[in-house]
Chains A and B, each alone.
Chain A
Amino acid sequence: MSVTRDDVLHIAELARLGVDAHRADELVKELSAILSHMEVLSQVDTASVATTAGVGAGGTPLRPDVGVAPLMRETLASMAPAMRDGFFLVPRLATHEDSSESGA
């Protein structure tokens, strides 16, 4: 299955990756080539096969629903690009959201 330029631009948008026109054209070729190798899977009969999301032998053990505070050496403020009064500062939302995303 080949991906189209629109596919690339759509998934780039979903992944919040800015992709310029030249790179989008390259990615169409690269992703199509990679996905062509995946087609072999469609020939495998998996109708009666359960899906595997993980391989932890014996399953994931349960524990009390209590968080453990990690030992923190650095402060959040020392890592964050911008903080004020204990909150992370981000650029304004209202200036960029387009109408197609409202309610999404």
Chain B
Amino acid sequence: MTIENYTQLSAAAIASGVRAGELTPHDLISSSFKRGAEIGAGPEELNIILYSDEKASRAEAEETATHLKSAEDVGILAGVPIAIKDNIASFGLPTTCGSKILRGYVSPFEATAITRLRANGALVIAKTNMDEFAMGSSTENSAYGPTRNPVDVRCVPGGSSGGSAAAVAAGITPIALGSETGGSVRQPAAFCGVVGVKPTYGRVSRYGLVAFASSLDQIGVLGRTVDDAALGLECIAGFDPLDSTSSDADVPIYRLAALGKPAPEARNPDTEAIRIGRSPVPLPPPPSQNTLEGVVIGKPREYFPDSLDGSVRDLCERALDRMRWMGATVRDISLPRSPLAIPVYYILAPAEASSNLARFDGVRYGLRVDPGKGLRPMYEATRSEGFGPEVTRRILLGTYVLSAGYYDAYYKKAQAVRTLIADDFRAVFTGGVDAIFTPTTPTTAFPIGAISDPYEMYLNDIFTVTANLAGVPAMSVPIGRVRRLPVGGQIITAHFDEYKMFRVAYALEAALGAEAHQ
């Protein structure tokens, strides 16, 4: 293993190379920054990275290198460079949520997810661009300019975690953290040809994730491969006393899902050695006709409408055929209330946002614009100057649906329909379906500036938003390309069954091989 092929190295390979002394944290930092410069990750070109500090990253690498010499367990992400979406609070680098209202803000505390990455030896090298406060599907809504898709720079990378997806696609880091409220990890993952995982609501602590819509928000992982994403999620998942909605459910070793078997029943010394990086994951067998034996894949008709792009449909059918070949049974199913998800989401998420974003008022941190006319004009001037058009629109929409006279018709109604949408998923999974397969998005990445109508932009989330409303885990994996642009396939499983989701994803990735990127 050599550093020369850095952009092709998986996170697991990097950590293993670092532990074996074949790679050094210093070299990895150099390679990551060099790749960022080569690809033009800065604001003048692709605008993937908002903030980085090479000197500080080198100091962090030095600490890791010192720790490597003295510690027995150096973590399963030893020396792995990682990029972080700009709405996840980090020490050292600004956390601005892609907004002018937080320009220059450096968080006094750090998100639990980042703390856990660092504890596993990861090197946080950059904060990535995003739609302001995660409101958008193209990363065009950033106050710091749009990000371009490294696969085709004329196109958007998707959003709102567009910078993180682009960082992984461009080979700057093998793993990046993003966040999801309605598809903001999976959709950019699909557009950039990488893997994106939204875990079950409660699986990953939200402590330090700047709140957008608290009942929907989750930190997610983007990786170059399924294994990168599995490894990243393993590190950040699990109960956190700092987030009362985090779950204490046991976190399986997702990487073992590559072996094509159900999760081990209980913890044992062998698997624990794998968990902490002392033993490698056994080499998975190549995909065969029994890799997915006994697995039932649901194909929901609402996610394959007549209007679906024919090329996207064909690639989904190819993926389903591969799963059939591996022994899976594909069953036609229905999630009848899914077509209601966009209206439900665009009532509930703005409603919660209108409350969460009330904290940005020019008093305790961030921007203050004071016209000198008293407190209330200061609030209004600060917020009007600090928030961009989409954030303003959603705050107003949320305020409207919560206001007297409209609360029952919109907000309460949407909450009830949300129950029905979650019931649909529950019925499918209790009815014997192991995993649901759909396209991640209806189309491939679109050109920058192509969509100006807000509701048309919202429809980008049409296949992803249901998983957020139901709280179930979902991920996007590359399944091919249409006119050189990546297409993602979505795998959804029941609450806290990420292991099964990874099992299907590992199998599909192996069965498609290079075709996933052709």
Contacts and interface: CB of A to CB of B under 8 A. Distances in A.
Interface of A: 1, 3, 7-8, 10-12, 14-19, 27, 30-31, 33-35, 37-38, 40-42, 44, 46, 49-58, 60-61, 63, 68, 70-76, 78-82, 88, 90-97
Nearest to A69: B109
A23 to B, nearest CB: 8
A38 B412 contact: no
30 contacts: A18-B381, A18-B383, A37-B342, A41-B347, A41-B410, A42-B413, A46-B416, A46-B417, A49-B419, A51-B415, A54-B471, A56-B247, A56-B471, A57-B496, A61-B248, A68-B241, A72-B108, A72-B109, A73-B109, A74-B107, A76-B108, A79-B106, A79-B108, A79-B365, A80-B364, A90-B378, A91-B377, A91-B378, A95-B373, A96-B375
A57 B247 contact: yes
A95 B383 contact: no
Interface in B207-246: 215, 241-242, 244-245
B368 interface: yes
Given A15-B383, A44-B417, A55-B422, 9 more contacts: A18-B381, A27-B393, A31-B400, A37-B342, A44-B337, A49-B416, A51-B418, A73-B91, A91-B377
Contacts of B82: none
A81 B368 contact: yes
Contacts of A97: 374, 376
A82 to B, nearest CB: 7
Nearest to B347: A38
Nearest to A96: B374
Contacts of B378: 90-91
Nearest to B412: A51
B396 A16 contact: no
Interface of B: 91, 105-110, 200-202, 215, 241-242, 244-245, 247-248, 337, 340, 342-344, 346-347, 354, 358, 361-368, 370, 372-381, 383-384, 387, 392-393, 395-397, 399-400, 403, 409-410, 412-420, 422, 453-455, 458, 469-471, 495-496
B396 A95 contact: no
A-B CB proximity, top 10 nearest:
A55-B471, A96-B374, A51-B415, A46-B416, A81-B368, A74-B108, A18-B380, A18-B384, A79-B365, A95-B374
